[in-house]
Structure 1
Amino acid sequence: MDLADIRTRIDEIDNGILALFAERMELAADVAASKRATGKAVFDPARERDKLYRLVTAAPDAIKPEVASLFSLLMSMNKAAQLKILNADRTDSAAAQAKAALLAQDTPFPMTATVACQGVEGAYSQIAACRLFSTPKITFHPTFEGVFRAVRDGACEYGVLPIENSTAGSVNAVYDLLAEYRFSIVRSLRLKIDHQLLAKPGVALADVHEVFSHEQAIAQCSELLDRLGVRVHVCENTARAAELVATSDRTDIAALSSRSCAALYGLDVLAKDVQDEGNNYTRFVVISATPQVFPGATRTSLMVTLPHAPGALYRVLERLYALDINLVKLESRPIPNRDFEFLFYFDLDCPYGSPALDTLLDALDDVCERYTYIGSYTEVV
């Protein structure tokens, strides 16, 4: 056969595969009805294992791995379709909760709000809050948990917290608090971070022997600190470090902080933009005790607990692949009092209300022990 004949035959085969695949997916409704009547679980690992064994054994040696991958994906898509059908009428399903959180289409993100931030005036969280809200009323708290408590107790409508940095990585304490408080993320912001080395007026760079800052800023400016050979002290916040330098009697200390803190606390910039990477961003999230989805949301966050078993994470990733959902972040955190077991945080790039996202939210029961919908939101850049 020449190439044209080969391609014609491939098209004929593909059309046959398409018809059979459509027929196979239509049977998902019948399978779901049977399992609802009998109370059987959607995921039957013994049957799935036996079926894959039979298919792979019958396949030619040259394509055994491909057969295993193909039919594993087919079964994953079929299970997702079954779960969507079985969960369609549940008011407590993740998809139902997400739909209940959607605000009216003409509801804009608020310009004014009471907002809790960690640190003091001039902190990057405050800068982020002023970018996210036009005119926020900000209260400051010494710890990340203080922000969560302020939102929990109703003292503030929202909290603004850093969750990851492009250089230093994730802020693990915030992820742990999200797991503890089960709040919703309603918006996020990617903020360019430029650290300045600040000291009292008249202090020279050679005079500096100790530097104060937050641990994330210290990690982001390690090259400068190594070059200076100074002692480093961790503060709860970069702005607090600037405040400490400004109020101290010492003239041999400096702070890594924002440019706005120089003017705020009357400090000079000894060295500007001293972060290791010029493309240094921190991602901040807005948390709410009440689930809220504002129109136009394109990112969704989930918290998933997986069984401590081989292939557990793969089955979730396979489900995302089958639904053509883009995974933009995967973070793991240890589960307290459970050895070598982890929570996983998934950030998904998928428009809110899309069929793929609706299916996913109703189709995770068979691949995880438990999962929590953290929210759908817009990320501001």
Structure 2
Amino acid sequence: MAFDLFLHKGAFIWGCSSKPHSQLDSHSGGLTDNLRYQLVHKCTILSVLAQKAAIPVEDEKPLVHSPPDDNALLHIHNKGFHKDINMLPKPLTSIDVSSSASDGSKGLPGAYSEDAALKAYPKCETVPCDEFEAAFKAVELWLVDKAVLPIENSIDGSIHRNYDLLLRHRLHIVGEVQLRVNHCLLGLPGVAKEELKSVVSHPQALAQCEMVLNELGVDKIGAHDTAAAAKTLAINCLRHNGAIASSRAAKIYGLDILAEGIQDDDANVTRFLVLAREPIIPGTDRPYKTSIVFSIEEGPGVLFKALSVFSMRNINLAKIESRPLKQRPLRVVDDSNEGSAKYFDYLFYIDFEASMAEPRAQNALGQLQEIARFLRVLGCYPMDTHV
């Protein structure tokens, strides 16, 4: 289960506009001024970051999109956030970005991804998106500059859906954000927490605040996400109901913070990725991280050999994630003595702490490519060392 569900079950896409609309006509398919999110700059694509595959992998074939019709695009308000809920920006939907399928995710103002976007880019304008894949497509269709999506949580682990989408789409990781989760107990103005009889939030948020909720003796009510819980509380105005969400959600929906930091585990950190159409130019002026995905042939010690290319160059591996190769999940190996054996085929996602500007990283990937059936660099980006 994707960890993001306990946060807000969605993603925020953001844009910082600075160019006149006429400069986007050749790229945006004639989009109207209703969507004033434009690309600020484009970075040179380094040949070292070119996407490579020794053998094509079915899962990583890019999707083909037709330009969206102007009448189908949602008008996005450019006036910030308001306590008048009806005036809040509406999430971009699958229809708005020509989405063909939904992953069930929702996004609303006040979600934790918004906090992550504002931490990375304090002056950006955030726009909610109603599903993960819609956020990817919005960047691809030039509706916004970048997307900020959660990828893992220190308690609930990885968001596998976003790992799969990284392979399906041709966006580049250009940054990361580590955000400390601060669950707040929210209530209507003038209500004390002792008056609450029930609390609504996403089930994972409720589970992570179990000790406080049990002490209050309240009923726990599940919701689609934490921001939606805050919005529902504000709309229904039920005095004896509370919600668990972020402090920003309290400000947006005009609610009081009855208690802060109510999560059972204080070490609750979410890592987000920043995605863009073009990669950034890697440097050596600060700590960098590189994310790759690869597959290997089955055989004794093959994975060990693949990982040793980093160890022998003193490159630290920050994360290893394996995902089944969906289009070819099982492989049959004949053995004359034992009959047929079936194996899972995997893709391996790795984050390693080195910049592609360093020869050791270039040499490591050069050697890995000799072993791997498929290799793709997802991005090289500065590490977020501040939580």
1:241 correspondence with 2:245: no
Query: What residue number does 1:135 align with?
Result: 123
CA distance in 2, matches of 1:221, 1:176: 30
Give the direction of change, closer, same or farther, for the CA distance of 1:245–1:193 in structure 2 (3 Å limit): same
Change (3 A) 1:179 1:216: farther
Matches within 5 A, 1:86-235: 95=48, 97=50, 119-205=107-193, 208-214=196-202, 217-225=205-213, 228=217, 230-235=219-224
Pairing partner for 1:263 from 236, 241, 251: 251
Contact between 1:123 and 1:258, CA under 8 Å: does it hold in 2?
Answer: yes
User: Which amino acid is 1:97 matched to?
Assistant: A
Is 1:375 aligned to 2:379, yes or no?
yes
1:212: Cα distance to partner? 3.3
Contact 1:95–1:362 (CA under 8 A) maintained in structure 2: no
What do residues 133-188 of structure 1 show as CA deviations (whole Å, max 9, x unaligned)?
A: 13112221111222111111110110011111122222222212112213211011
Give the one of 311, 315, 324 matched to 2:305. 315
1:283-322 superposed matches below 5 A: 283-295=271-283, 296=285, 298-322=288-312
**What letter matches 1:329 in structure 2?**
K
1:215 Cα deviation (Å)?
5.4
Larger radius of gyration: 1
RMSD of aligned alpha carbons: 2.7
| Greater share of helix | 1
Deviations 1:65-119 (Å, cap 9, x if unpaired)?
A: xxxxxxxxxxxxxxxxxxxxxxxxxxx9973528xxxxxxxxxxxxxxxxx9972
- The alpha-carbon distance between structure 1 residues 274 and 323, as it changes in their structure 2 partners (threshold 3 A), is same
d(CA) in 2 for partners of 1:335, 1:225:
41
CA distance in 2 between partners of 1:216 and 1:204 (Å): 24
**SS of 2:355's equivalent?**
coil
Residue 186 of structure 1 contacts residue 293 of structure 1 at CA under 8 Å; is this kept in 2? no
AA paired with 2:306?
V
Q: Give 5+ residue unaligned stretches, structure 2.
A: 1-44, 52-90, 93-105, 331-343
1:254-289 superposed Cα distances (whole Å, 9 cap, x missing partner): 322111222221222233201122122111111012
Amino acid aligned to 2:277:
A
Q: What letter is aligned with 1:231? A: K
Mapped to 1, the partners of 2:234 and 2:140 lie a distance apart of 34
Alpha carbons of 1:219 and 1:157: their partners in 2 closer, same or farther (altered >3 Å)?
A: farther
Partner-residue secondary structure (3-state), 1:365 = helix
1:24-63 paired onto structure 2 within 5 Å: none
Number of corresponding residues = 272
Aligned 8 A contact 1:194 1:274 in 2:
yes
- Structure 1 counterpart of 2:320, from 310, 330, 338: 330
Cα distance change on mapping 1:219 and 1:153 into 2, 3 Å? farther
TM-score normalised by structure 1 residue count: 0.64
Give the AA of the match of 1:375. Answer: G
Contact 2:48-2:356 at 8 Å conserved across structures: no
- Give the structure-2-normalised TM-score: 0.63
Q: Say whether the 8 Å CA contact 2:49–2:379 is kept in structure 1.
A: no
**Residue identity opposite 2:244 in structure 1:** L
After TM superposition, list the pairs within 5 Å mapping 1:9-24 onto structure 2.
none
1: distance between equivalents of 2:251 and 2:234? Answer: 11
Question: Cα–Cα, structure 1 residues 225 and 367, in superposed 2: closer, same or farther, change >3 Å?
Answer: farther
Tell me which amino acid in the other structure corresponds to 2:324: P
Aligned identity (percent) is 33
For 2:179, the aligned partner's letter is L
**Residue 100 of structure 2 corresponds to which residue in structure 1?**
none
- Paired with 2:219 and 2:167, the residues of 1 have a C-alpha distance of 37
Cα pair distance change 1:156/1:350, threshold 3 Å = same
SS at 1:287's partner residue?
Answer: strand
1:168-220 deviations in Å (ceiling 9; x for gaps): 22222221211221321101111122110112234454554544334553454
Corresponding residue for residue 334 of structure 2: none
Contact kept? 1:186, 1:294, Cα under 8 Å: no
